[in-house]
Amino acid sequence: MNKSPNDNNMALGGIKVVDLTRAIAGPVCSSLLADMGAEVIRVESPDRDKDLANQPLADTAMKLFQRNKKSITLNMRTEKGKDLLRRLIKWGDVLIENFKPGVMQEMGLDYPNVKEINPRIVMVSISGYGQTGPYSGRAGLDWVGQAMGGIMSMTGPPDNPPMLAGAPIADISSGVFAALGAVTALYRSKSTGSGQQVETTLMDSIAYLMGFHIAKYAFGQDIVKGGLVTPGSGTFLTGDGHYIVIMGALAQHFPRFAQLIGRDDLAAAPGYQTRAERMEHAEEINAAIQAWMNTQTITVVETALEKVGIPFGRVQTIEELMKDPHLIARNRIVEVEVDGQKKIMPGPYPILSDTPGTIRAPCPELGEHNEEVYGNILGFSQDELTALKNDGVI
């Protein structure tokens, strides 16, 4: 586990974050900030384990994103609990929540009220559709964001029903954009002393990821599900059973690719000499490439493509990814301790040359930092903490 001698020497050292989030998008956001040195206090329900009893695997997986954070318990539905949360908001620089719009307002903790408590607070709100607009009252989860954001209309073979991406990209991208928004707002608050609300939504995030396709649509290009067959580019299967993506369609690449597979004619013959001409023969060309691939092993193909400078990448499984020598050489795979066991996952990201993110603490136990936060930060005595616990507030 990486160690940092002093969190204040890190990029976000000294930044204080109150984290009310659950599920995926919110914890991803706070995890990015925590990895870069922010002090993140994760506020959890005293009944969290009971609430998550029906989804133990998902909860265990998400624990990997709780590294570097402190955990306290708090019943935010009680008046005493709300008062404690207000004190934490006054202490913090950033407040992150991903409740359904309206929940924070019901608790009297929507942005106008939070701003009254702490004018410099940056409040990050992550939801399915946002705080305003016709869909704002709807519940939203990752799959819904993928559907409404447009990416499912492009995913999968042309004749198949719409398909989900293989990762929760609506949740993950919303968390990443939220962290970017938080840092951007913090940068402005340094000069103005005023915070602001940052919003990301599952639908908006996917729509942003679809920006290239939207731009093509704006210029009148057809948007085809599954993409067009592009001569020299695609996913091919080697003779020893490995899939590999090859991007050899560009003018500077294709003649070399054709020569490599022993088919110079596919680049030099009349009607095949330009990329536009080759588009008329796309299926024929890619069939010729696949015929060559059938006779090759993945190692031979990779070596040959790298030698002639054609972009490629084998389709890796999760197991292969976590063992990839390139990621390991760049220290991109780290160990995170969860429930006393060490698990591997991608390391802090993005990479900063002078103040890189680090893994400094394992996933905390539920309420592990109650005494530290309530006692040292908010100033409660041991007797007061005992009373709060007996009253079901913490």
Q: Just list the catalytic residues.
A: 171
Q: Which two tokens stand for residue 143?
A: 């799959």
> Where do we find the tokens 């309206």?
102
Distances (CA, A) of 361 to 30, 51, 63, 94, 227: 14, 25, 12, 20, 44
Q: What is the largest CA-CA distance in the chain?
A: 89
Q: Per residue in 267-276, is it b (16+ CB within 10 Å) or e — as a string?
A: beeeebeeee
d(CA 296, CA 311): 18
d(CA 77, CA 391): 13
| 3-state SS class at 27 | helix
Residue 145's closest CA among 121, 159, 127, 132?
127
Residues paired with residue 345 on neighbouring β-strands, in sequence order = 334
In which element (H, E) is residue 143 found?
A: helix 142-148
Residue 102's closest CA among 79, 128, 75, 131?
131
Q: Which two tokens stand for residue 113?
A: 């009220």
**Amino acid of residue 140:** G
d(CA 52, CA 27): 15
> Where do we find the tokens 């306290």?
72
CB-side neighbour CA atoms (13 Å) of 210: 23
d(CA 266, CA 264): 5
Task: Give residues with Cβ within 8 angstroms of 188, minimum separation 6.
Answer: 194, 196
> Where do we find the tokens 């050292």?
13
